[in-house]
């Protein structure tokens, strides 16, 4: 059975939980508190991920795969969650790299600062800039989803999983999604896909 090196608060880790659940692949999780440096111990850096991050999938033979979107690729290739033709595959890739470069560093970091750091953290000064850049990413998603049910080819794919993870918790980072109706409707569609599991089990359908 796979081990998912995991953190409940991480949207990046949730991507892996959601995909593995939807593919019906059983896995165990080991939880880490990143605010306590638990992914930066010498043992973790040596044995799990020298980049000191979660999520990591560890296989029974000990091999480890880091980077949330590489994990999505590995498990989705050959399933309905990754397109067959090269052009649509490239469009999935476009959204995965967009997510890691133009979305997560703003939408996820705002959530981290507002929910994981003390209220008097000096990092709160970053919030206006994070919101400015995060709203640009959200508007790009809204433009796409206003005309299409999903991000690529009107079919649910790992592009949707990657972007759903932090977008559906953007309010925790102080983002107001009320002017993004297409994104909100897309949340509802994703929540109805087979095998869907909530990021926080207790708030199913309350996002």
Residues of the shown chain interacting with its own copies in the complex, contacts defined by CB under 8 A: 50-51, 63, 65-71, 73-74, 77-78, 86-87, 89-91, 93-94, 96-98, 100-102, 104-105, 136, 140, 143
Residue 13 or 207 with smaller CB distance to its own copies: 13
Q: What is the 3 state secondary structure string of the chain?
A: CEEEEECCCCHHHHHHHHHHHHCCCCEEEEECCHHHCCCCCHHHHHHCCCCCCCCEEECCCCCEEECHHHHHHHHHCCCCCCCCCHHHHHHHHHHHHHHHHHHHHHHHHHHHHHHHCCCCCHHHHHHHHHHHHHHHHHHHHHHHHCCCCCCECCECCHHHHHHHHHHCCHHHHCCCCCCCHHHHHHHHHHHCCCCCCCCCHHHCCCC
Q: Are 100 and 73 in contact (CB under 8 A)?
A: no
**Least distance to its own copies from the beta carbon of 71, Å?**
8
Shortest CB 173 distance to its own copies, Å? 18
The distance of closest approach from Cβ of residue 70 to its own copies in the complex, given in angstroms and rounded to an integer, is 4
Radius of gyration, alpha carbons of the chain: 17
Please state the closest distance from residue 139 (CB atom) to its own copies, in A.
9
In the bound state with its own copies, the residue whose beta carbon lies nearer, of 141 and 172, is: 141
Find the shortest distance in angstroms from Cβ 181 to its own copies: 19
32 or 106: CB nearest its own copies: 106
- State how far the Cα of 61 lies from the Cα of 150, in Å rounded to an integer: 36
Give 111 or 207: the residue with its C-beta nearer to its own copies. 111
Shortest Å, Cβ 75 to its own copies = 9
Nearer Cβ to its own copies (36/63) = 63
Residue with Cβ nearer its own copies (38 or 67): 67
């Amino acid at each position: 059975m796979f081990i998912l090196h995991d953190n409940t608060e991480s949207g990046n880790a949730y991507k892996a939980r959601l995909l593995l659940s939807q593919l019906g692949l059983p896995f165990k999780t080991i939880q880490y508190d990143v605010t306590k440096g638990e992914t930066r111990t010498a043992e973790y850096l040596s044995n799990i991920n020298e980049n000191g991050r979660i999520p990591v999938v560890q296989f029974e033979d000990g091999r480890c795969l880091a980077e949330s979107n590489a994990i999505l690729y590995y498990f989705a290739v050959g399933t309905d969650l990754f397109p067959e033709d090269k052009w649509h595959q490239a469009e999935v890739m476009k959204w995965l790299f967009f997510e890691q470069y133009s979305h997560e560093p703003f939408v996820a970091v705002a959530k981290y600062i507002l929910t994981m750091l003390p209220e008097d953290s000096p990092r709160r000064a970053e919030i206006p800039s994070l919101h400015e850049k995060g709203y640009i990413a959200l508007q790009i998603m809204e433009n796409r989803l206003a005309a299409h049910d999903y991000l690529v080819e009107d079919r649910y794919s790992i592009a949707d999983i990657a972007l759903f993870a932090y977008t559906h918790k953007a309010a925790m980072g102080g983002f107001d999604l009320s002017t993004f109706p297409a994104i909100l409707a897309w949340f509802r569609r994703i929540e109805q896909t087979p095998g869907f599991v909530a990021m926080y089990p207790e708030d199913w359908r309350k996002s």
